[in-house]
Structure 1
């Protein structure tokens, strides 16, 4: 879950923006998926001009982003940035200062892989290095992948460890757009997708579907709609209390201290499907130019100091 944390002073303008039923309705619609202003106007039953003004106000306080959609001229797509907002009303001088290190890893920049067909890497304009051949994952060009899929196995990403020397990690978060992998696509296709951080198994999430039939907002036009189109944005985080999946505590045995982040030159994030999983339904992993979210695998490393 993406959280915006504000102190008392920072919250004033955000609260002004939220004190409007139309803007709250816009945020609710953007929680479902990205929309353009025309779609928001139609769903809210408001004039285009009124909707545009309210979208601009939400942009001004950085609650949503607006981007040009590739391949559709000047059409603008609005996306919600946060799932919840927390306002701290405690005196600022008594609160610990929190710093965040953010790194957005392209999905083709994996450091290790072990995958089984069906599998493949897809770029902006074509498949990369063939189809259904695990050897393609070791060829030059894999860095350009915008969609990666496989039935079982894993991909490992090694993030640079930018934790300042002498400081301690307070929390680490990862987010990625993922779904199951079926032939073409299938909405009823569960798959148990597991994540490991620094070698520790964090959580297994059962993806319900391989989503297709309706084009993803970033999915290129050449990619047929009867193939996988988009996934769900999932969030994993670890702090002193344990491991969370989308803000739900799922593993209290693994904490931020057990990951030993300060002791390693890199931070390992591994994602995949086990051969002995209950639901072996594969995985699709989406990059910056495929699916519904303009990101790869995003890591947020939080530190606290007085």
Structure 2
């Protein structure tokens, strides 16, 4: 399945091109098989000139392509270029000084865990190990995981610390697709999911649901629809002013200084359910080929160029 990813910079032209019922119908027809303009005009019950003009607008934004195909003479045949369009609504911050480190890690690369059933690790094509058996979390193939779930416990990751010597971290960000973990799925199933960075509790997000019943954009077809399908993309940011969740102040107790990033050989990321959590509803963690977002675990560290103790 070929996906076109849009952001704030390129979404407008595509949106204008598909904001037309005839052009949407053309895409629907071409999703079944290639057609020439005459065939499209006949199915749409439109004049050839009107159909050709709409085809041209879709070609201009590269949603469809045209090639010369031999037949009765040579004819132009149109085919669709993408199976799916996704719009990224998170605005990426520009950093002209480039004092930013970006690292992405697969969800199967955890270095420590403590999990309780229901639990499991799912790859792109099948389960890894045995469902509801915590021993599966130690299988070598766990590194191929695209979905990790557990009802209680935690997983810990260690990102390389690439902070330049002599620099000081000014902002830390962590982004992941998450949701609660219920039997099968349950839309009303809150869970208090906590993030720790370098052993310091950063904050807790209460997931409202274990989302299912509607297939995630990236969730493989073999995965049953009544199981967990997708999560929510959550962004934790820690600055000198405290910890923020999706841009909203979460707490002021943990600041970037508390993380001591410049003193650590790695950056520890731990996700889990606290023992005293009010809502102990488990955790689902999604990889780049599962759920709704084409990314694994993402860390950003912004830093000053030089500082002195």
Deviation at 1:240, TM superposition (A): 1.2
The answer to whether structure 1 residue 162 and structure 2 residue 158 are counterparts is no
User: Is the CA contact 1:192–1:278 (under 8 Å) kept in the aligned structure 2?
Assistant: yes
- TM-aligned CA deviation for residue 81 of structure 1: 3.3
TM-score (norm 1): 0.74
Residues 275, 99 of structure 1: alpha-carbon distance in 2 compared, 3 angstrom cutoff: same
**What aligned pairs does 1:1-306 form with structure 2 within 5 A after superposition?**
22=15, 50=57, 75-84=82-91, 97-305=97-305
Within 1, Cα distance between the matches of 2:12 and 2:294? Answer: 29
In the TM superposition, residue 80 of structure 1 has moved relative to its aligned partner by: 2.9
Query: How far apart, CA to CA, are the structure 2 residues paired with 1:120 and 1:245?
Result: 27
Q: TM-score, normalised by structure 2?
A: 0.74
Q: Distance in 1 between matches of 2:180 and 2:274?
A: 13
- Does the CA-based 8 Å contact 1:118-1:149 persist in structure 2? yes
Gaps spanning 5+ residues in structure 1: where? 1-12, 27-36, 57-72, 88-94
Residues 98 and 303 of structure 1 are in contact (CA less than 8 Å); yes or no, is this contact kept in structure 2? no
Separation of aligned partners in 1, 2:90 and 2:58: 21
How far did residue 162 of structure 1 move?
0.5
Q: 1:125 to 1:230 in 2, by over 3 A?
A: same
Q: Is contact 1:196-1:269 (8 Å) kept?
A: yes
Q: How far apart in 1 are the matches of 2:59 and 2:90?
A: 22
Measured at CA, do residues 109 and 21 of structure 1 come closer, stay the same or move farther in structure 2, by a change above 3 Å?
closer
Say if 1:190 and 1:207, in contact at 8 Å, map to a contact too. Answer: yes
Q: Does the C-alpha gap of structure 1 residues 48 and 165 become closer, same or farther in structure 2, counting only changes over 3 Å?
A: farther
Query: Counterpart of 2:47?
Result: none
- Give secondary structure in 2 for the equivalent of 1:225: coil
* SS of alignment partner, residue 135 of structure 1: helix
User: Which secondary structure does the structure 1 equivalent of 2:99 belong to?
Assistant: strand
Distance 1:304 1:96 in 2: 13
Query: Retained in 1: the 8 A contact 2:286–2:296?
Result: yes
- Look up the SS of the partner of 1:142 in the other structure: helix
Higher Rg of the two aligned structures: 2
CA RMSD after TM alignment: 3.0
Are the equivalent residues in 1 in contact too, given 2:166–2:305 (CA < 8 A)?
Answer: no
Residue 198 of structure 1: CA displacement? 0.7
Q: Residues 18 and 271 from structure 1, CA distance in 2 versus in 1: closer, same or farther, beyond 3 angstroms?
A: closer
In 2, Cα distance between equivalents of 1:117 and 1:96: 47
> Aligned residues, how many?
254
- Distance (whole Å) between structure 1 residues aligned to residue 303 and residue 156 of structure 2: 24
Pick closer, same or farther for the CA change 1:201–1:21 going to 2, 3 Å: same
Q: Using a 3 Å threshold, how does the CA distance of structure 1 residues 197 and 150 change in structure 2: closer, same or farther?
A: same
Gaps of 5+ in 2: 1-7, 29-53, 64-79
How far, CA to CA, are the matches of 2:125 and 2:99 in structure 1? 38
| TM-fit CA distance, 1:203 | 1.0
How far off its partner does 1:83 sit?
2.8
In 2, Cα distance between equivalents of 1:231 and 1:169: 29
